[in-house]
Amino acid sequence: MLKKENIRYLIVHCSDTPNEEELTATEIHQMHLDFGWDGIGYHKIILRNGKIQNGRPEYWIGAHVKGKNTVSLGVCLIGRDYFTRKQFVSLEKILKSWKKDYPLAIIEGHRDTENTKKTCPNFNVKNWCKDRKLL
C-alpha cells in the first residue's frame, strides 16, 4: 500500500505511442497486463483531448518508475513528442492538485529519474513547471 506521507515524487510520463493514436486508460491497462504487471502502472492518464482518466488508485503502489514506485505517483500523457494544449492544461491541473496533497513532493519527468535510459515524456518537465510556477 502506498502511504500518503511517503510520496516524495510526482513523475510525468508519456505513452511513447504515435501522437495520432488515441489510447485510453483501459488500453494501457491491457498493455500492462500483457507485460505481466498487475495492471495499469500509472495513477492518471491524460488523453489527447485533455480528458483525465484514472489508473491505479493513489493508495496503490505504481509500476511506472524503477526504484521510486513506493514513493511516487505517475501521470501519463498519451502521445510521444507532441502534446495538445488541452493535455497540458490537464497536466497542470493534476500536478497542482497533487502538490496541494503532497506539498514536499518533487515533480520530475521520467527521463530525469535515476536508473533509466528513457526519454519520456520527451520535454523538459522542470522548465515547463517553472514557467507555471509549479516548483
What confidence score (pLDDT) does residue 6 get?
95
The answer to whether the CB of 79 falls within 8 A of the CB of 48 is yes
The CATH class of the 4-131 domain is alpha beta
Average pLDDT for 37-52: 97
Helix (H), strand (E) at residue 129: helix 125-131
Q: Where are the domains of the chain?
A: 4-131
Tens of pLDDT, residue by residue over 27-44, are 999 999 999 999 999 999
Tens of pLDDT, residue by residue over 83-125, are 999 999 999 999 999 999 999 999 999 999 988 888 999 999 9
Characterise 36 by phi-psi region: left (phi > 0), alpha (psi -120 to 50), beta (else).
left
% of the chain with per-residue pLDDT over 70: 100
